[in-house]
Amino acid sequence: MEEGALLDTATTWVEQARHVAVLTGAGISAESGVPTFREAQTGYWAQFRPEDMATEEGFRAHPRRVWDWYQHRRGLLAASQPNAGHVALAQFQQRHPGRITLITQNVDGLHQRAGSTGVLCLHGDIFADRWLDTPRNCCHIDHAVAGHPPYCDRCGNLLRPGVVWFGEPLPYATLEAAQQAARVCDLMLVVGTAGAVYPAAGLARIARDAGARVVIVNPQPTELDAVAHEALRGTAAQVLPALLSEAH
């Protein structure tokens, strides 16, 4: 089928769906200029391995370096804006309250800044801080002493970015809610994710097995192509406004 016909079919599926689940990954933020993990490691940061910046072991070994890298990424994100893909999802939710569940692997907050609410953030929030070790009575985030990273001046507990690092479990209730949305949806859109990171990528299979249609939006082939009924080979900012607009 040619691209236009594929889009028409997918648009019909959107119209027919009582419930739409959307899984997004780093690709939806590419057109906002948000660098991927690897791309953010330019200049001074290029000498460090990405794995060492995204594990608890890496943070414990080099807390200053890893904290400063997250501060650097927070700065890049603060300077970026949601793109037409984020906006199309937020506007669809505003026009159709309760009809869409947005699940993201991104930690960048761009869906929320575009106006989406109730976003299920599987991998946390880069702008949130939390304690590295189980907090004691003395640990209050508001009272943490400034530093690289900030710390509790009573016990020395360190603050760390509130993202899910490699080897860490996903937030249980958030994953449960995402799996439930995958089970009950009629249509799942998989946008801008390579489909290589589990359990997030498994949501597409859950949806398919439960009888939903699965549509991929990605300019490149992905590891989930075999699970999908259709793949729309365009960028998120091109395809989502066309797919979700009221005009259809």
CB-nearer residue toward ligand NAD: 63 or 124:
124
Count of residues for the chain? 248
Q: Which of 96, 111, 123, 143 is catalytic?
A: 123
* 123 flagged as catalytic: yes
**Closest distance between ligand NAD and the C-beta of residue 194, in Å?**
3
131 bridge partner residues: 159
- Of 74, 175, 79, 51, the closest CA to residue 129 belongs to 74
Residue 228: CB minimum distance to ligand NAD, A: 13
Identity of the residue, 139 or 201, whose beta carbon is nearer to ligand NAD in the bound complex: 201
Rounded Cα distance between 218 and 224, Å, is 11
Amino acid 17 reads: A
Give the chain's largest Cα–Cα span. Answer: 65
Residue 58 and residue 37: Cα distance in Å, rounded? Answer: 15
Two tokens at 127? 């702008």
- Nearest residue to ligand NAD by CB is 27
Residue 171 or 219 with smaller CB distance to ligand NAD: 219
Q: 108: closest CA among 21, 201, 27, 176?
A: 27
Considering Cα of 133, then 127, then 140, then 150, what sign does the dihedral take?
positive
Q: How far is the CB of 152 from ligand NAD (least distance, A)?
A: 28
Half-sphere exposure of residue 3: CA atoms within 13 angstroms, side-chain side: 10
The residue among 54 and 139 lying less far from ligand NAD, judged by its C-beta, is 54
Q: For binding to ligand NAD (CB under 6 A), which residues are involved? A: 25-31, 34, 36-37, 105-108, 123, 192-194, 196-197, 217-220, 222, 235-236
CB of 204 to ligand NAD, least distance (A): 12
Q: Mind telling me the catalytic residues? A: 123
